[in-house]
Structures are given as structure tokens and as C-alpha cells.
Amino acid sequence: MLCPVKILGIVVVLGVSVQGVVHQVSTVSQLKNALSSVNPGDIIRLAAGTYKAGLNSDRNGTATNPIIMEGPADAILTNTNYAFHLLGSYWILRGFTAANGKKGIVVDYGGHNILENLTVRDLEEEGIHFRFFSSDNIVRNCKVYNTGTKRPGYGEGIYIGQDRGKWVNNQPDKCDRIQIINNTIGPNCAGEGIDIKEGTCCGLIKGNYFDGHGLSDVNSDDSWVDVKGDSYIVEDNRGYWTLEDGFQVRDHMPVDSGIVSGCNNVFRRNHCDMYASGYCIYFANKGKCASNTVEDSNTLTNGGQMTNL
Ligand SMILES: *[C@@H]1O[C@H](CO)[C@@H](O)[C@H](O)[C@H]1NC(C)=O
Ligand SMILES: *[C@@H]1O[C@H](CO)[C@@H](O)[C@H](O)[C@H]1NC(C)=O
Ligand SMILES: *[C@@H]1O[C@H](CO)[C@@H](O)[C@H](O)[C@H]1NC(C)=O
């Protein structure tokens, strides 16, 4: 019987090196063992193949010695529920694919994780979801497409936070300072490409490419990005084809809460290639908060109008 090969590797992160264990895995049981025992500085290397199980980990790396899980795009994590459920912090997830399940990668109670160069596709619901106070995470250079294949109103590509209906004790699910950079999102994300929930703030949505073909129009899924959070910077994104608008900003708090969401956001250097009659940047909460900004550097082609602000 093959045993996981553990090699002492030198991990160099931010100039600090530690002896980390390299877990070379090629079966579900090897991967499960690795996920339950990894320590800061360790690397899990996935061989090509399909790993179908309830894969999860609550281990933590550290700022200087993250835990790395990496593999080629043909290392595929899948499951009938979540392909991978991360409940830890300071991980780097790199290169592999999460596909063919209900949700792709779900991060709960996890901060300072980096998801990069992943392929996330063919999922019944959302592709990547940050929930339960998961702040300071980064998603970069990933491809996310074919999400919401079963429940179109629940098929966002990338989802930050939770609807206030799911908040614990009515407290905002603060998933703050999340950065979504240089990803290709769509086609066939039946929910929005990125859904930013009320109660979250201070993130960066930069350099992404959205293909809106396959938006569902269920649950107002008719734009590339929905911003219900506050103080986001949305810049250098390009969108191609939409149902109605490019970027939508909305208040999703009840009137009697006295709180308005979707405020203090900045839009600049985005390009909307619309093929639709709506707005590149539409404010459904116009007049409720004066502090949103659309800079002149945004551009528009193929129909629509720039903004209603
Ligand atoms: C990971 O860190 C969190 C937050 O500090 C902590 O609650 C959790 O117990 C840690 N996980 C493990 C396996 O120690
Ligand atoms: C990203 O993943 C692809 C496919 O596995 C690989 O060929 C490429 O080298 C990776 N790029 C980076 C920057 O890691
Ligand atoms: C995003 O892409 C731009 C343009 O190619 C590049 O300059 C920048 O370093 C990238 N950022 C990240 C975080 O990958």
C-alpha cells in the first residue's frame, strides 16, 4: 500500500524560513489525513485526479508560515455538498479545481487566506463564498464559471458575507477587506458574478473580467456585480454583455433599521461593454446616501448609459 510521501521541505515566506512538511497526496484518505494534521509552513501537493469527499480543515497557518495546498488544474476537488470547506486562517489555495458539487469553496471563520489560480466551475450554487466573519481574504487570478446550475437565484460566482436574514443575533456578518483581483468570472454565473452583502465593508474589486452571458434574472440577477456593502473600491474591471446593468449598488437594510447599505463606494476605470439598455453603474439607493462616487474614468460601449448618479 502506498503511504503519503512526507518530505522535509524548506518553506521561505517573507524572508522567514521554517522546516515544513510536504504532504504529497494522490488519494482521498491521504488528503484527509493531511488536512487534519497540517501545521504552519506545511505544503499539501495534490496529484492530478478526482478527490470526492467532504473535504475540510480547521487548521491554521501563520502570517509568516501559511499552509499551502496546491495542485494542477486537473486535481479536482468535488462533493455532493461543498468541494472544500475551509475553517482556518493563513492558507494559500493554489492551482487546483473545485467542481461538480453544490458549492465550490466555502470559507467560514477564516482570515488572511489567499485563493489563487484556481478553477471553480460547474456548481449548483455559488462558486466561492466567504461567511461568518471571514475577513482579509484574497481571490486572485481564478476562473469561476457555470455556477447556479440548479438554483439560479443562488448561483453567484463569488459571494462576500451573508444576507441579513442569516445574521446571528442580528449582528452584521462582517467579512471585511476582501480583495477580488484579476479573476475571470462567467459565463453562466446564474447569480451575479460577485455579490457583496450588506454589513461587509472596505474590500477591493479590481481588474476582473466578467462575461454576463447566462445571468438568470432570478432574484434580480441581472448585473455583473451587486454592491450592498460599504466603502468598496471597484476599479479596472471589464464587463462584457449583461441583462440590465453592469454594477448595481443597493440598500438592503429595512427602513426601520435606520441604516442604509451600499454607501461610500468608489467606481473608477471600469469598462462596460453592455449589449443592454441599463446603466454601467446603477444606484438603486440613489438619494439615500450621498457618498458614492463614480469617477469620469469609467467607459461604456454597445448601449446603455453610464450612471444614474
Ligand atoms: C484556528 O484559529 C481559530 C481562531 O483563532 C481558532 O478558533 C481555532 O481553534 C484554530 N484551529 C485549530 C485547529 O487550532
Ligand atoms: C496556473 O495554473 C495553470 C494550470 O494548472 C498552470 O499551467 C500555470 O502555471 C499556473 N500559473 C501560476 C502563475 O501559478
Ligand atoms: C493584476 O493584473 C495586472 C495587469 O496584468 C498586474 O499588473 C497586477 O500585478 C495583477 N495583480 C495581482 C494581484 O495579481
pLDDT at residue 5 greater than cutoff 60 = no
CA distance 112 to 179: 10
Confidence at residue 217, expressed as pLDDT on a 0 to 100 scale? 77
What is the distance between the alpha carbons of residues 41 and 64, in angstroms, rounded to a whole number? Answer: 8
Dist. CA 57–CA 79, nearest whole Å? 15
Query: Residue 69: which H helix or E strand, with range?
Result: strand 67-70
Q: What is the mean pLDDT of residues 69-79?
A: 97
Per-residue pLDDT of 261-287, as tens digits, reads 999 999 999 999 999 999 999 999 999
Q: In what order do the strands lie in the sheet with 247-249?
A: 56-57, 82-86, 103-108, 128-131, 158-160, 194-196, 225-227, 247-249, 279-283, 305-307
Q: What domains sit in the chain, N to C, each tagged with a CATH number?
A: 102-307 (2.160.20.10)
Q: Which three cell numbers stand for residue 233?
A: 473600491
What is the model's pTM? 0.93
pLDDT tens digits, 33-43: 999 999 999 99
Ligand 1 atom 13 nearest Cα: 59
DSSP 218-230: GGG--SSEEE-SB
CA of 69 to the centre of ligand 2 (A): 14
Please name which of 73, 4, 2, 64 lies closest in space to residue 34, comparing C-alpha atoms. Answer: 4
Using CA atoms, how far apart are residues 174 and 179, in angstroms rounded to an integer? 14
Q: What is the DSSP string of 106-129?
A: EEES--S-EEES-EEEEESS-SEE
Q: 113 - beta bridge partners?
A: none
pLDDT confidence of residue 218: 74
Q: Which of 47-51, 64-68, 167-171, 203-207 has the lowest mean pLDDT?
A: 167-171
Query: What is the pLDDT, as a whole number, of residue 258?
Result: 87
Residue ranges lining ligand 3, Cβ < 6 Å: 140-141, 181-182, 207
Ligand 3 atom with least separation from CA of 206: 1
Is the pLDDT score of 212 beyond 50?
yes
